[in-house]
Amino acid sequence: MSGNKLRIGIIGCGGIATNKHLPALRKLDSLCEVVAFCDIVKERAEKAAAEFGAPKAKVYVEYERLLKDKTIDVIHVLTPNVFHAPITVAALEAGKHVMCEKPMAHSYADAMKMLEASKRTGKKLTIGYQNRFREDVQTLRQAVDSGYLGDIYFAKAHALRRRAVPTWGVFPNKALQGGGPLIDIGTHALDVTLWMMGNYKPASVQGSVFWKMADQFEGNLFGPWDPKTYEVEDSAFGFIKMENGATIFLESSWVLNTTDAKEAATTLCGTKGGAEIRGAMGSPYRLILNTAKFGKLIDEEPVAGGGVAYFQGGSGDPGDIEARQWIEAVANNKEPLVKPEEAIVVTRILEAIYRSQETGKVVEF
């Protein structure tokens, strides 16, 4: 730490770095400074350093060299999914705290290596599930904590797009990403749902994965993609049963013929009440609570505004709140909101959905 500022290194300077993490960190210039940038494309790192870096920020193409800088306190791992684990483990072992973008890893085994490295080194590790910091999600969490829903025994995790396949970067590349919409946006919906349920003990998973729409690019929000290089699934669905019998249905797709698009959304059904978050890419989120009162069925929609239960002060943008919460957790030696012990369960379930499709069997833990 230089003076009172944490020194941060960025590994991976693509879109998630320049559109989410670096703009958020720049707003925290009284708490931290970004002093090192690494990317396999040197020009990307140089451009990010010029726009977001501290004076004399260093640029690397090999992350191993960056990690040798003992003055760096925190690393943000913002690379394609398959590199999350090796870089995170190396950073933790180099004595750095790590923010790793979602998903935690492309496999449960790799995620376990990350969790074990965090525990072994005593360094903090968090995963980039910024949707937890949305106002509607925070309000729903307060409703859950208050007992409004009672015992949540059934839920749906929604991550459905009608035609919004990302056509940039490595999203369609199975070797680098490990999967498609399930691991990309299904991961957010499942994280929010599990966090609301407070249940991280899956018993079994059954999955259906489809490769049906690789050449159906007409009307795609981000323009046509090349079917020849589209290697991942277009949709995936999972039926998840928890140890206590609670059940979750997970739906994810980048391209599905449906008019009911929902993303990073959840439906919760409890013994006392229920809740539904509605919203998708480009549309505002709505939280609708439901219960029975006065002999009638009641729907309640909270008015926007108010505080955030797990964070005090700062911007209302989820990425900004996530960054401040993380930096303050490191600076003040507190636990970050998104814990690796929770994120690893998301990865384990997603992997089981893929495995269930491959084997044609229910995956039991």
**Domains in the chain, number:** 2
Residue 308 confidence (pLDDT) above 60: no
Segments of 134-261 assigned E as strands: 152-160, 202-210, 235-242, 247-253
Q: Are residues 169 and 305 in the same domain?
A: yes
Say if residues 8 and 17 touch (Cβ distance below 8 Å): no
Q: Are residues 183 and 303 in the same domain?
A: yes
Range of the domain at 353: 132-313+346-364
Q: Give pLDDT tens digits for 160-170.
A: 999 999 998 88
Residue showing tokens 């259906």? 208
Q: Are residues 70 and 98 in the same domain?
A: yes
- Provide φ and ψ at 147, rounded to 5°: 90, 10
- Which of 90, 106, 129 is the C-terminal boundary of a domain? 129
Q: Are residues 151 and 293 in the same domain?
A: yes
Q: Are residues 149 and 163 in the same domain?
A: yes
Q: Are residues 182 and 194 in the same domain?
A: yes
Strand partners, 270: 152
User: Which CATH number does the domain housing residue 125 bear?
Assistant: 3.40.50.720
Burial class (CB in 10 A: 0-12, 13-18, 19+), 314: middle
Q: Are residues 206 and 280 in the same domain?
A: yes
Residue 177 confidence (pLDDT) above 50: yes
- What single-letter DSSP state applies at residue 24? H
- Which of 106, 129, 152 is the C-terminal boundary of a domain? 129
- What single-letter DSSP state applies at residue 21? I
The reply to whether 289 falls in a domain is: yes
Q: What are the strands of the beta sheet with 262-270, ordered from one edge? A: 296-300, 286-293, 274-278, 262-270, 152-160, 247-253, 235-242, 202-210, 363-364
- Reported as a pLDDT band with limits 50, 70 and 90, residue 313 is very low
Residue 22 confidence (pLDDT) above 60: yes
Burial class (CB in 10 A: 0-12, 13-18, 19+), 183: buried
pTM, two decimal places: 0.94
Angstrom distance (rounded) from CA 194 to CA 201: 10
The reply to whether 323 falls in a domain is: no
- Paired tokens of 7: 């020194």
Q: Are residues 229 and 353 in the same domain?
A: yes
